C-alpha cells in the first residue's frame, strides 16, 4: 500500500527483519555463525542492520565462540546455523554452555513448514534433539511470534541460572510478513533470602574453627567478586575456588589457597578434609570436586548457596541451603560482618594450611628452571602481563594452566568444565578476543584438542585477532594416556597421536609460528610471540610421559590421592 501524504511505499516487515530487530533491541553486537539454505533469508536481511557477523569455519566453533564471548562479557552470546547438519554441529557447543551455565541464544534455520515431518533435505528435529541440554527450545511457526520469542529467549538465557536457548525458525517463516504483537518483558521475581538462613550462616561462620569459602563459577556469572573478597577479608576465612571459579578471587591474595578436586592441590584437598565448615557459593559439588561423596569433607557442616534450587542437596546435603544469586546472597551475609572483630579468628587454621603448602611451593620453585609446563606458564604470564586472558582446552595442559598460571585479573580464566569439551579453546578465544580487542588473549591447548577446531585459524586470520596459541605437544592424548599408565598397565591403546608441523601449518594460513624444544629459550620464544601483531602459534614439544599431579582416582577420596612421589 502507499501513504499518499508521504508518498512512501510500505512493505510488510519480514520474519528475518523481526529477528534482526530483536537482536538489536537486546543490544547484540556480534553473531558467530555459518550460513546455509534454511537460514538464508535471515542472512539476506543481516547486511541492512548494524550487527557484526563473524564467519567461522565450522558451526561447533560458532557455539564455542559465542560461549567465549558470553563468559568474557557476562552478556548473552549468539550463534547462528542452518538446518540439518548445521544445527546438529551446534549441539556440542550448546551442551558445553549448559553444563557451565553460560547464557547463549542459538538461532537455527529449519525447512519450510510444508516440508516439515517428511524427511526433507537437511531436515532434523533440532528442537527435540536439544531439549535435554538447553534451558528452553522454541520452534517458531507463527511469523507474528518471532520478535517476542527472540526477546524471551534472551530473558530465559540470562535469568536465574544462565544457559543456552534455541530458536528454530522455518525458512518460509523467515520470508513471511509479520507484525509487532505486543512483546511484554517477563517478570522475574527474585527468590527472597530469609533471615533465619542468613543468621544461621553467620552463626556457623563464627563458631567454626577450620572454615573454608568454596567459590564456584556462579560468583563470576553474578559479578560477585567484590562481595566474595569483602567476606573473606572481613572474616579471615581462607578461600578455595572450583576449576571454573578460578579467577573469581586473585591468586596472589593472602587468603587464597588454590582449587581442589581430582587434580587440585594436595594441600587444598587436605584442608577440605580437615575443615569443619564449607561455605560453598555458586558451585554444584560435581564429582571432580567431591570424589567419593560419603568421604568428602566428613567433619564439615555445609552452607550451600546457589541460584538453582535443584542443586541444593542434589549431591551433598547442606546444613543451610540458600537458593539465591551469589551477589545478592553475599551482600546480605556481609551485613553480619561489618567490622574487623572476626579477622584474627582463624590465624592458627591459616598457618596450618600454609605449612602444608610448603612442599608444593618448593617443588614448584624447583620446576621453574626446568623445561616444561610450569616454565611455559610462567613465561606467558611474564610476557603478557596482568591483563592477559587465558583460554584453555581440555586435558593435562588445562590442569597445568589452572595449577601454575597466576590468575590475578578477575574472570581471566576461561575453560570448559562440566562437559570437558576438547576443541573448545581456539574458537572460544575468538569470542574473548572480540569482547576485549585491546587485551592479550592466549590459548593453551594440547596437540589432540587443538586439531579438533584448528580450521578456526582462518577466522582468526581474517579478522586480524591478537590471539597467541601455545600448544603443549606431547604426541599423546595426554590425560587418557596418564590414566592408561596408572590403571591399564601402560597399555597405550589409541592414545599416541600425530599432527602437522604446526609452525608450517600456521604459515599456510599466513600466520607466524615457532617450534620450541627442550634447550630452547622459552622466555624469548614467548616474548617474541607476544610482540608480534596478530596470531602466533608456538609448538612446545614436552615430555611425552609428563603427568599431572596430584590425582585422585574417580570415586575415591583424598586418602587415595596419588602424589608426585607415588605416595
Q: Which residues are catalytic?
A: 59, 121-122, 171, 479
Question: What grid cell was written down for 211?
Answer: 572454615
Give bridge partners of residue 169 from the DSSP assignment: 109
Nearest Cα neighbor of 161 from 71, 242, 282, 329 is 282
H-helix or E-strand spanning residue 305: strand 301-306
DSSP-based three-state secondary structure for 387: coil
CA distances from 484 to 360, 477, 479, 564 (A): 25, 11, 9, 17
Angle at 105 between CA 101 and CA 110, to 5 degrees: 135
For residues 526 and 362, give the distance between their C-alpha atoms in angstroms, rounded to a whole number: 25
- Strand 2-3 with 239-241, pairing: unpaired
CB atoms within 10 A of CB 331: 16
Nearest Cα neighbor of 418 from 92, 1, 42 is 92
DSSP-based three-state secondary structure for 516: strand
CB atoms within 10 A of CB 183: 15
277: number of CA atoms within 13 Å, CB side? Answer: 21
Nearest Cα neighbor of 394 from 321, 444, 456 is 444
Give bridge partners of residue 280 from the DSSP assignment: 214, 304
Lateral strand order in the sheet of 104-110: 52-55, 30-33, 77-81, 104-110, 164-170, 136-139
Q: From its phi and psi, is residue 110 left (phi > 0), alpha (psi between -120 and 50) or beta?
A: beta
For residues 204 and 272, give the distance between their C-alpha atoms in angstroms, rounded to a whole number: 16
- Strand 8-9 with 2-3, pairing: antiparallel
For residues 347 and 341, give the distance between their C-alpha atoms in angstroms, rounded to a whole number: 13
Which residues in 196-226 are b (16+ Cβ under 10 Å) and which e?
ebbeebbebbeebebbbbbbbbbbbbbebbe
DSSP-based three-state secondary structure for 226: helix
In terms of residues, how long is the chain? Answer: 567
Give bridge partners of residue 106 from the DSSP assignment: 79, 166
Angle at 62 between CA 39 and CA 499, to 5 degrees: 130
Amino acid at each position: 500500500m502507499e501513504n499518499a501524504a508521504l508518498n512512501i511505499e510500505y512493505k510488510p516487515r519480514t520474519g528475518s527483519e523481526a529477528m534482526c530487530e530483536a537482536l538489536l533491541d537486546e543490544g547484540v553486537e556480534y553473531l558467530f555463525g555459518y550460513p546455509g539454505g534454511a537460514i538464508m533469508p535471515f542472512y539476506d536481511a543481516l547486511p541492512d542492520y548494524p550487527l557484526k557477523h563473524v564467519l567461522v569455519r565450522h558451526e561447533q566453533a560458532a557455539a564455542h565462540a559465542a560461549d567465549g564471548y558470553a563468559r568474557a562479557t557476562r552478556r548473552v552470546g549468539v550463534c547462528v546455523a542452518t538446518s540439518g547438519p548445521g544445527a546438529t554441529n551446534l549441539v556440542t557447543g550448546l551442551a558445553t554452555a549448559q553444563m557451565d551455565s553460560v547464557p547463549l541464544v542459538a538461532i537455527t534455520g529449519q525447512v519450510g513448514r510444508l516440508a516439515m515431518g517428511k524427511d526433507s533435505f537437511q531436515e532434523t528435529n533440532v528442537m527435540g534433539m536439544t531439549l535435554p541440554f538447553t534451558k528452553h527450545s522454541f520452534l517458531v511457526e507463527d511469523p507474528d511470534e518471532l520478535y517476542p520469542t527472540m526477546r524471551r529467549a534472551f530473558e530465559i538465557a540470562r535469568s536465574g541460572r544462565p544457559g543456552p536457548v534455541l530458536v528454530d525458525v522455518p525458512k518460509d517463516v523467515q520470508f513471511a510478513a509479520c507484525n509487532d504483537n505486543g512483546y511484554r518483558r517477563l517478570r522475574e521475581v527474585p527468590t527472597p533470602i530469609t533471615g533465619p538462613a542468613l543468621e544461621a550462616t553467620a552463626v556457623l561462620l563464627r563458631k567454626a574453627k577450620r572454615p573454608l569459602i568454596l567459590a564456584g563459577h556462579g560468583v563470576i556469572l553474578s559479578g560477585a567478586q567484590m562481595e566474595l573478597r569483602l567476606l573473606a577479608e572481613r572474616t579471615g576465612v581462607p578461600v578455595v575456588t572450583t576449576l571454573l571459579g578460578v579467577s573469581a578471587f586473585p591468586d596472589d591474595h593472602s587468603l587464597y589457597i588454590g582449587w581442589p578436586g581430582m587434580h587440585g592441590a594436595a594441600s587444598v584437598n587436605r584442608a577440605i578434609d580437615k575443615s569443619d565448615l564449607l561455605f560453598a557459593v555458586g558451585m554444584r559439588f560435581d564429582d571432580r570436586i567431591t570424589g567419593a561423596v560419603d568421604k568428602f569433607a566428613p567433619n564439615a557442616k555445609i552452607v550451600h548457596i546457589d541460584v538453582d534450587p535443584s542443586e541444593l542437596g542434589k549431591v551433598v546435603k547442606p546444613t543451610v541451603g540458600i537458593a539465591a544469586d551469589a551477589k545478592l546472597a553475599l551482600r546480605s551475609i556481609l551485613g553480619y560482618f561489618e567490622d574487623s572483630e572476626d579477622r584474627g579468628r582463624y590465624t592458627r587454621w591459616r598457618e596450618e594450611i600454609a605449612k602444608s603448602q610448603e612442599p608444593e611451593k618448593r617443588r614448584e620453585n624447583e620446576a621453574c628452571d626446568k623445561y616444561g609446563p610450569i616454565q611455559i606458564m610462567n613465561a606467558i604470564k611474564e610476557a603478557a602481563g596482568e591483563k592477559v586472558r587465558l583460554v584453555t582446552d581440555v586435558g593435562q595442559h588445562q590442569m597445568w594452566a589452572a595449577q601454575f598460571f597466576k590468575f590475578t585479573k578477575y574472570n581471566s580464566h576461561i575453560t570448559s568444565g562440566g562437559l570437558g569439551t576438547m576443541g573448545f579453546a581456539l574458537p572460544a578465544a575468538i569470542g574473548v578476543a572480540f569482547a576485549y580487542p585491546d587485551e592479550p588473549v592466549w590459548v593453551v591447548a594440547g596437540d589432540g584438542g587443538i586439531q579438533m577446531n584448528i580450521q578456526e585459524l582462518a577466522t582468526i586470520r581474517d579478522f586480524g585477532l591478537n590471539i597467541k596459541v601455545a600448544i603443549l605437544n606431547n604426541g599423546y592424548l595426554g590425560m587418557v594416556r596418564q590414566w592408561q599408565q596408572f590403571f591399564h598397565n601402560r597399555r597405550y591403546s589409541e592414545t599416541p597421536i600425530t599432527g602437522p608441523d604446526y609452525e608450517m601449518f600456521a604459515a599456510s594460513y599466513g600466520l607466524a609460528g615457532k617450534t620450541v624444544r627442550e634447550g630452547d629459550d622459552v622466555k624469548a620464544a614467548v616474548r617474541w610471540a607476544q610482540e608480534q601483531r596478530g596470531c602466533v602459534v608456538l609448538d612446545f614439544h614436552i615430555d611425552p610421559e609428563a603427568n599431572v599431579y596430584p590425582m585422585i582416582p574417580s570415586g575415591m577420596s583424598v586418602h587415595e590421592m596419588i602424589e608426585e612421589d607415588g605416595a
